[in-house]
Structure 1
Amino acid sequence: HRAKVLVYLPRGYSSQKRYRLLIALHGWGHAPEDFRQHTSLAAHADRQGLVLVLPEMGKTVYETRFYPETRGRWGAIPGARWIGEVVLPFARERFAVSKDKADTAILGYSTGGRGAVVVAQRYREFSRVISLSGTYALLELPAALGESKIHAAVFGDLVKHAERWRLDDGVRPDLRAALDGVQLVLAHGGQDKVVPPSQLEVMERFLGGERSGAKLSTRLEEKAGHDWPFWDRAMAWALEDW
């Protein structure tokens, strides 16, 4: 399988140095160019010495498996596996980036926010996970919501195949420990009509208890929606101390 990857090298980039790596995941049906057009991510990369790797993922939900009922696969390999097994090794091999977990982060918005969590749970190579307006608890999504429908297109009907939805859920108890020591930075808009703000509350309960070893920072912006102005602000907040 081949897919495009947009790469941004910080100002003054030198192959003799080692930079921190940030993989950024776009939302369902979006493109990596959207980051360039709508955010200040490149400015943060210049200021903080980050190599940005932005894969083109089409209409993926950052799934870990495909099924006979899967309609419209984004590519030959499930999205989460593509990031963890292809994009991350590619970035480390081709560019002057540190291979240390402490210098590696993953960011996503909307479905990409979910993807950042799913990937980090299964590939323990990231010290910071930034998820903006993400979907975490799949089984709690209203069936009529578009976000639920795009997952049904991969996993099949929820009633018939609930175990598949649970497999890729972001709040699986058996994967809680996978985020121990990881800095989780989550943000959501209080007026989000695409992904309910209650998804943030679920993740706060999941990672905020005594059984969790994750380092959790969250922000609910009451008047924000599911849009670029909010995501741009949230990215600045999420990256300011990294």
Structure 2
Amino acid sequence: MYLPPQLQENPNPQRPCLVVLPGWDFPRTSWVENTNLVSFANRYGYVLLLPEMDKTLYASNYYPETTLKWNSIPGGAFIKTTFIPAIQKRHQLLLTGQHNTLLGLSTGGRGVALIALENPGLFVAGASLSGDFSQENTPEDRLMTALYGPFAQFQSRWLGRDNPQARASEWTMPLYLSHGTADDIVPESQSRLFFEALKQQPSAVVEYHPVAGAGHDYPYWGSQLEAVFKFIDQPR
């Protein structure tokens, strides 16, 4: 947890909070080490919560065919059943009614969507950069196959609880999406198609900002922080 200087002297538990999710196999410190995230947290007065997520797809369940296991419980289940309750109990943060927000990149961007869906009403806004949201569009993906089993055999898993785009009708959290058009790791279409699905929901508050020529890297992700904080800091 990072607490901005102006909040260290303020015991008010209503201070805004940002859960920051790293990409696949990135350490929790990678956001801080490679961008000016702390400067933005200081400027806007946000507590940063940076969980160590290692290699996870933020799944809700494991299956008999699962050969890729983040830990004893899946990453998404860990956030919901362990991380959030611990932060609530120890620090009186991430409580319902507080200004709780989410930020993630790449696999962490997927995590933003799944955490919001699994904890409806808890987060007031989020931002997802270079995320993947509809794994059925890449049915040969080796990580998804290792988690859910082959797509041809287990389509219901690929299209079910852990598929953010398939759950677009449940969406309620304001969301900022951005993706580089030159991303050679996660296709830009992942964010664009998710955005189009969310826009079909009558009350959806969602923005999509494709960035021409941007790749899958920290120079791009860091360049988005100004817009991200302006979006998540709006009164909700």
Q: Write the mapping of 1:91-240 to structure 2, written as runs, cut at 5 A.
A: 91-95=87-91, 97=93, 99-101=95-97, 103-124=99-120, 125-141=122-138, 143=140, 148-167=141-160, 168-172=162-166, 175-180=167-172, 182-209=173-200, 211-240=201-230
Q: Does the CA-based 8 Å contact 2:84-2:94 persist in structure 1?
A: no
Aligned equivalents of 1:101 and 1:199: distance in 2? 31
Q: Name the amino acid aligned to 1:141.
A: T
Aligned equivalents of 1:84 and 1:130: distance in 2? 18
Please, which of 70, 77, 82 is the counterpart of residue 81 of structure 1?
Answer: 77
- Deviation sequence 1:53-81 (CA, Å, 0-9, x none): 11111110111111112123111111111
Aligned equivalents of 2:40 and 2:85: distance in 1? 23
Please, which of 48, 58, 67 is the counterpart of residue 54 of structure 2?
Answer: 58
Q: Name the amino acid aligned to 1:104.
A: N
Q: Write the mapping of 1:27-38 to structure 2, written as runs, cut at 5 A.
A: 27-38=23-34
User: How big is the alpha-carbon RMSD for the aligned residues of Structure 1 and Structure 2?
Assistant: 1.6
Aligned equivalents of 1:10 and 1:96: distance in 2? 16
Question: For 2:159, what is the secondary structure of its paired residue?
Answer: helix
The TM-score, its normalising length taken from structure 2, stands at 0.91
Q: Name the amino acid aligned to 1:122.
A: E
Question: For 2:132, what is the secondary structure of its paired residue?
Answer: coil
- Deviation sequence 1:221-240 (CA, Å, 0-9, x none): 01100001111111221112
1:14 pairs with 2:4: no
1:29 and 1:98, CA in 2 relative to 1: closer, same or farther beyond 3 A? closer
- What is the identity percentage for the equivalent residue pairs of Structure 1 and Structure 2? 30
The TM-score, its normalising length taken from structure 1, stands at 0.89
Q: Does the CA-based 8 Å contact 1:17-1:96 persist in structure 2?
A: no
Can you give the 5+ residue segments of structure 1 that lack an aligned partner in the other structure?
Answer: 1-6
